[in-house]
Amino acid sequence: MFTSEKGVVEEWLSEFKTLPETSLRNYATNLKDKSSLVSSLYKVIQEPQSELLEPVCHQLFEFYRSGEEQLLRFTLQFLPELIWCYLAVSASRNVHRSGCIEALLLGVYNLEIVDKQGHSKVLSFTIPSLSKPSVYHEPSSIGSMALTESALSQHGLSKVVYSGPHPQREMLTAQNRFEVLTFLLLCYNAALTYMPSVSLQSLCQICSRICVCGYPRQHVRKYKGISSRIPVSSGFMVQMLTGIYFAFYNGEWDLAQKALDDVIYRAQLELYPEPLLVANAIKASLPHGAMKSSKEGTRCIQVEITPTSSRISRNAVTSMSIRGHRWKRHEQPDNNNDTTDLGILVIPEISVTNVSGERTGNGEKGRTLGEIDAQHIQGVQETATDPRTESKGLPEIRRQKSVRKMMEDGINSPGRVQF
């Protein structure tokens, strides 16, 4: 660490101690623009033997509990680097060198699990229903699934996930370590939109290092330092993926791509289903190839939104609607055209006393709809006028009625024009 960087940190430490309460808001607003201070603080955190590490951690905790939103976010931007330093020191079994970092992490955790009145927080999250539209989907495009989800949502069966209440912790142990660190990453992800690019870079880098340290891929990545394996939990890896996914579209495509590959590599070794599911879903949703000019700043996720339209079920095509449409056309005669032209069939007008059109032979396939109706009516008339032929005409009437029923049910014979 250079002397100039050390001087910047020492000036920052002394400035806040003499700062009046009325100037706290202006001080917090101007603090995020001091890039030289941020880079110097990163170097202090990365050196566990630095004499400035303890006062820096103490002042970062004072920032966090001050209640000023800008100071709280200033401390949060260093959280990934603090977590990495704590895990690296823990893996090397030099726990006494991470005392101040552990105290800072515990302090932030204990402040976040309670509200302003000191009561334990219970975080809730409602799982989105596919029956309700969002920026990612339209229910009408899903089909029958949307109807099922809609029926469930009307009965109030939406699933709500709760987190908490979380217990207070006085020290980090092997049993509660990742419970605390997972919750801290959850708090960091809640403020991702306010994090600067240097913090997103640090997040991607520490995710890669945590996942590959102690494994053969460490030599491929050329990571120096510790060579011990760092244990991780499934929930902790899912929270890492949340930040990586955000970094993809906010100027850190290359680092995020490398971190995603390393997380998948470690999840496959650990056989963790949740990180594998999330990581593969992220990988499948990414565009092909790296995004050009990814360093130009914040980017957004492009989603195609279908225009709002009427439901398909409102104008659904059913056998009843087809049947009604067919007989509506049958009831509207067209006297201008009485011939078929290029497959277009004109239904002739049917009269009880006079049937238009000529009757064709039984073996012909071009029998029209009007001719069958005329045959049916004619058969009824012949049966009524000649009682002696009642027994002979009865099978013919039944045959004609069956043909009529087949047409009403939508069964078309070969050669018949469909409507």
For the chain, what is the radius of gyration of the CA atoms? Answer: 38
* Alpha-carbon gap, residue 401 to 413, rounded angstroms: 15
Res 266: pLDDT: 95
Percent of the chain with pLDDT over 90: 32
pLDDT of residue 122: 84
DSSP summary character for residue 161 = E
User: CB neighbours of 306 closer than 8 A, spacing ≥ 6?
Assistant: 138, 140, 141
Instruction: List the structure tokens of 404.
Output: 């009529």
Given the structure tokens 């980090």, which residue do they identify?
172
CB 187 within 8 A of CB 76: yes
pLDDT band at 21 (very low <50, low <70, confident <90, very high): confident
Q: Specify the pTM.
A: 0.65
* Residue 341 pLDDT greater than 70, yes or no: no
Examine the pLDDT at 414 and tell me if it is beyond 60. Answer: no
Q: What is the pLDDT of residue 269?
A: 93
The answer to whether residue 368 scores a pLDDT higher than 50 is no
| Most confident of the ranges 17-26, 264-273, 363-372 | 264-273
Cβ-proximal residues to 44 (8 Å cutoff; 6+ apart), any chain:
1, 9, 50, 52, 53, 56
User: For residue 140, what are its two tokens?
Assistant: 């009408």
| Most confidently predicted of 51-60, 165-174, 310-319 | 51-60
State residue 396's pLDDT score. 55
Q: How far does the chain reach from its first CA to its final CA, in angstroms?
A: 85
Where do the H-state alpha helices sit in 113-252?
144-154, 177-190, 197-212, 217-221, 234-248
Two structure tokens written together for 147: 């109807």
Stronger pLDDT, 25 or 410, i.e. the higher one: 25
DSSP state of 228: S
Higher pLDDT, 386 or 30: 30
Backbone angles phi, psi at 159, to 5 degrees: -90, 130
* Token representation of residue 107: 């302090």
b/e for 98-132, b at 16 or more Cβ within 10 A?
bebbbbbbbbbbbebbeeeeeeeeeeeeeeebbbe
CA 88 to chain centre: 33
Mean pLDDT, to the nearest integer, of 126-147?
A: 66
Tokens of 255: 């680092």
Is 105 a residue whose pLDDT tops 90? yes
| Neighbour count for residue 324 (Cβ, 10 Å) | 11
pLDDT in tens, 152-193: 555 555 678 887 788 888 888 888 999 999 999 999 999 999
Q: Is the pLDDT of residue 385 over 70?
A: no
Residue reference for tokens 């430490």: 13
CA-CA distance, 325 to 418, in Å (whole number)? 12
Smallest Cα–Cα separation from 62: which of 103, 97, 33?
103
- The single-letter code of the amino acid at 182 is T
Question: What is the model's pLDDT at position 312?
Answer: 46
Which tokens belong to 265?
Answer: 């590599």
Tokens of 30: 């101007």
Q: Which of 343, 350, 211 is nearest to 272 (CA)?
A: 211
What is the average per-residue pLDDT within 411-416? 48
Mean pLDDT of 338-349: 46
Query: Quick one: pLDDT at residue 310?
Result: 47
State residue 125 phi and psi, 5-degree precision.
Answer: -145, 125
If one compares 361 and 76, the residue with the highest pLDDT of the two is 76
Q: What mean pLDDT value characterizes the chain?
A: 75
Q: Specify the 3-state DSSP secondary structure of 123.
A: strand
| pLDDT given for residue 383 in this prediction | 46
The model's confidence at residue 197, banded by pLDDT at 50, 70 and 90, is very high
Whether the pLDDT of residue 216 is over 80: the answer is yes
Residue 209 has pLDDT above 60, yes or no: yes
Looking at per-residue confidence, does 129 or 52 come out higher?
52
